[in-house]
Amino acid sequence: MAKLRVALCQINSVVGDIDANTKRIFAALAAAEEAGCHAAVFPELAVTGYPPEDLVLKRRFVHDSRTAMEEIAARSGSCTAVVGFVDGADGCQNAAGVATNGRLAGVYHKRELPNYGVFDERRYFQPGAGEPVLHDVAGIAVGVSICEDAWVSGGPMGQMAAAGAEVIFNLNASPYHVGKLDQRLSVLRQRVAETGCAIVYANLVGGQDELVFDGASLVLDPDGRIIAQAPPFREHLLIAEVEVADRVGVEDRTNVADRPELSSSPAIPQEINQVDPGLGELDEQYEALVLATRDYVHKNGFTDVGVGVSGGIDSSLVAVIATDALGADHVHGVLMPSRYSSDHSVADAEALCRNLGIDHRVIPVEPGHQAFLDMLAPSFDGLDPDLAEENVQSRIRGTLLMALSNKFGWLILTTGNKSESAVGYSTLYGDTAGAYAVIKDLWKLQVYAFARYRNQRAGRDLIPENVLVKPPSAELRPDQRDDQSLPPYDVLDPLLEAYVEGDLTPADLGAQGYDPELVNRITGLVDRTEYKRRQNPPGVRITAKAFGRDRRLPITNRYRGGD
* CA nearest neighbour of 519 among 554, 487, 489, 541: 487
Any catalytic annotation for residue 37? no
Count other Cβ atoms within 10 Å, centred on residue 74.
11
Among the listed residues 33, 79, 110, 299, the single catalytic one is: 110
Told to judge if 44 belongs to the known catalytic residues of this protein, a careful annotator would answer: yes
Please give the helix or strand (H or E) that residue 102 lies within, else none: none
Query: How far apart are the C-alpha atoms of 405 and 218, rounded to whole Å?
Result: 41
Residue tagged active-site, from 9, 33, 37, 44: 44
Give residues with Cβ within 8 angstroms of 144, minimum separation 6. 82, 96, 98, 106, 108, 135, 168, 169, 171
Query: What strands lie across the sheet with 135-137, from one edge to the other?
Result: 135-137, 140-146, 167-172, 198-203, 218-220, 226-229
Handedness of CA 251, 256, 259, 265 (dihedral sign): positive
Active site residue 70: no
CB < 8 Å & 24+ apart, contacts of 326-330: 326/293, 326/294, 326/297, 328/356, 328/357, 328/358, 329/359, 330/303, 330/304, 330/305
> Of the candidates 312, 330, 313, 319, which has an alpha carbon nearest to the alpha carbon of residue 289?
319
Per the CB < 8 A criterion, the answer to whether 226 and 275 are in contact is yes
Give, for 236, the enclosing helix (H) or strand (E).
strand 236-244
Q: How far apart are CA 320 and CA 144, in angstroms?
A: 42
The residue ranges of DSSP E strands in 246-383, in sequence order, are 305-308, 331-335, 359-362
| Burial 29-57, CB ≥16 within 10 A → b, else e | bebbbebbbbbbbbbbbbbbbbbbeebbe
Work out the end-to-end distance of the chain between its first and last CA atoms, rounded to an integer number of angstroms: 65
Q: Are 351 and 464 in contact (CB under 8 A)?
A: yes
If phi over 0 gives left and psi between -120 and 50 gives alpha, with beta otherwise, what is residue 548?
A: left
Exactly one of 9, 79, 92, 147 is catalytic; name it. 147
Instruction: Classify each residue of 511-536 as buried b or exposed e, where b means 16 or more C-beta atoms within 10 Å of its C-beta.
Output: eeebeeeebbebbebbbebbebbeeb
- Residues serving a catalytic function are 44, 110, 147
